[in-house]
């Protein structure tokens, strides 16, 4: 067993040399899950609350609280928009979930989503300097059913405390009603990251994948396997960016989406899926293998694999096929197997494989851009602009089949993305304030650097304790034993 260190670089090299590629892929999943549990137990979660204002003497409490703070209350009372300037509201996001579809684990009960929601808050702060708080809510009604109106009511009541709302891990069909209602009825951006976030980042990866294989979005045949919130929004944003609906086929857990799907038409809660039934798959294809014949792109966001997407589907695709298999925590087919089946470019949602098409590249910068100009909503145009921002940034660095999208450690990309989104918000007429592209870029980069410096200082001083290497070795042993 290789020596392990806290950097967690080169995960593949941690495992015995006689492990096959499949064993390594499985062992990495077990290792990361076990280390997640051990490290969360060690830290007691990932987030905490700290002041941003200093105490220079105890009379400063009279400034920050009573009697001085009365002036803050009355100022905001007389002009609510000042709450964005003289409280932390202007840089604060609520990460709201009822935990009914947490990653690939389904309904985890309301508190079961806390790990993911704290993770979103951590990424927002570290990657874009955005403050966020995890809010897992109970959406059950008196009948014991998950009620979208409960989430809608909660968010509408909570919105005066936040500059934006990030919806997360809400199962369909409730996710459609929650997002669409709140986007129209709230006066701050409401963003569903599983849908719009994943959609924006996927379109970014697709733009560059098509650049590499020298194909145009409007000409390619696209098959989408899975028709939940993520893939239906990916389809919608692909169409918005110029894809041909007649060359697009979606599949849910039953069969293809098309106008003969009376079961979808009859349930008004699935109106977003029915819209795609009307727009795509004019030949009403119900067989995935047939749909993949000569297809240029296969995008799967369905259920964890590794045997969900079949090699024969990929073998039936056209020249230089592009395969995105983005289920978490295990892709629908492992990248090595997809390549063996003929895939030219493969992307997953995981950072331990090349081409991580993960919404963590999108939501920090997108939300930061919206916050900077105090946007009232995040439009589809803003989401598509973010996709091109990510794609263009990677292209400048030199794209190739194993690098179609920026990586999470490319700090400047988030500042560029935030500035591009802010400019699009101004262009779309949803911004409360205006600024230049350079101002948005500079502010975002400064906030990112301040966050990184603070975390580094806390680690150096021991306020964030360093986990013992034995903790990592314990997780590694569990993983090796599980796969051996």
Catalytic positions, please? 65, 120
* Cα dihedral: 397, 403, 404, 406 (round 10): -60
Which residue is associated with the tokens 């295990």?
A: 330
Tokens of 69: 């703070």
How far apart (Å, rounded) are the C-alpha atoms in residues 375 and 367? Answer: 9
CB atoms within 10 A of CB 220: 21
End-to-end CA, the chain: 12
Strands (E), 45-114: 92-97
Interatomic CA distance for residues 362 and 193, integer angstroms: 9
Q: Judge contact between 174 and 146, C-beta under 8 A.
A: yes
Which H/E stretch holds residue 424? helix 411-428
Per-position b or e across 262-299, b if 16+ CB within 10 A of its CB: eebeeeeebebbbebbebbbeeebbebeebbeebbbbb
**Secondary element (H or E) of residue 336:** helix 335-340
Alpha carbon 61 to its chain's center: 39
Rounded Cα–Cα distance for residues 390 and 194 (Å): 18
d(CA 45, CA 37): 10
Contact 289, 280 (CB under 8 A): no
User: What are 168's two structure tokens?
Assistant: 């997360």
Helix H or strand E segment including 367 = helix 363-372
Q: How far apart are CA 180 and CA 214, in angstroms?
A: 36
How far, in Å, are 1, 115, 440, 482 from residue 476 at the CA level?
Answer: 9, 21, 43, 10
| 232 conformational bin, left if phi > 0, alpha if psi -120 to 50, beta if neither | alpha
Distance between CA atoms of 259 and 379, rounded to whole angstroms?
A: 28
Q: How many helices (H) and strands (E) does the chain have?
A: 19, 9
* Paired residues of 224 in beta bridges: 250, 299
């Amino acid at each position: 067993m290789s020596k392990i260190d806290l950097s967690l670089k080169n995960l593949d090299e941690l495992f015995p040399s006689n492990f096959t590629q499949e064993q390594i892929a499985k062992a990495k999943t077990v290792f990361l899950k076990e280390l997640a549990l051990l490290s969360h137990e060690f830290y007691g979660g990932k987030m905490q609350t700290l002041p941003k204002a200093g105490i220079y003497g105890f009379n400063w409490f009279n400034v920050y609280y009573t009697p001085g703070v009365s002036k803050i209350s009355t100022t905001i009372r007389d002009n609510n928009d000042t709450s964005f300037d003289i409280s932390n509201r202007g840089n604060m996001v609520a990460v709201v979930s009822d935990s009914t579809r947490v990653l690939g684990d389904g309904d985890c009960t309301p508190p079961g989503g806390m790990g993911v929601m704290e993770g979103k808050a951590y990424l927002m702060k570290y990657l874009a300097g955005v403050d966020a708080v995890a809010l897992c809510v109970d959406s059950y009604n008196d009948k014991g059913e998950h009620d979208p109106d409960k989430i809608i009511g909660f968010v509408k009541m909570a919105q005066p405390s936040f500059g934006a709302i990030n919806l997360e891990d809400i199962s369909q069909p409730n996710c459609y009603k929650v997002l669409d209602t709140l986007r129209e009825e709230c006066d701050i951006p409401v963003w569903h990251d599983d849908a719009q976030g994943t959609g924006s980042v996927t379109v970014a990866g697709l733009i560059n994948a098509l650049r590499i294989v020298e194909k145009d979005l409007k000409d390619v045949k696209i098959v989408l396997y899975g028709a939940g919130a993520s893939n239906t929004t990916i389809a919608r944003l692909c169409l918005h960016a110029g894809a041909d609906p007649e060359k697009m086929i979606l599949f849910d857990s039953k069969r293809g989406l098309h106008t003969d799907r009376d079961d979808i038409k009859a349930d008004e809660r699935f109106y977003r899926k029915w819209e795609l039934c009307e727009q795509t798959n004019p030949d009403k294809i119900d067989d995935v293998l047939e749909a993949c014949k000569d297809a240029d792109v296969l995008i799967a966001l369905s259920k964890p694999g590794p045997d969900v997407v079949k090699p024969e589907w990929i073998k039936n695709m056209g020249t230089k096929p592009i395969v995105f298999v983005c289920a978490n925590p295990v892709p629908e087919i492992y990248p090595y197997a997809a390549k063996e089946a003929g895939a030219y470019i493969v992307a997953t949602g995981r950072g331990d494989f090349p081409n991580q098409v993960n919404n963590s590249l999108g939501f920090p910068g997108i939300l930061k851009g919206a916050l900077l100009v105090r946007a009232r909503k995040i439009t589809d145009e803003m989401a598509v602009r973010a996709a091109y921002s990510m794609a263009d940034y990677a292209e400048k660095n030199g794209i190739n089949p194993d690098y179609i999208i920026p990586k999470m450690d490319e700090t400047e990309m988030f500042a560029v993305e935030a500035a591009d989104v802010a400019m699009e918000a101004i262009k779309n007429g949803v911004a409360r304030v205006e600024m230049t592209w350079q101002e948005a870029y500079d502010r975002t980069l400064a906030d990112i650097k301040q966050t990184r410096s603070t975390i580094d200082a806390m680690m150096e001083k021991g306020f964030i304790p360093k986990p013992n290497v034995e903790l990592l070795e314990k997780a590694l042993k569990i993983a090796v034993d599980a796969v051996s």
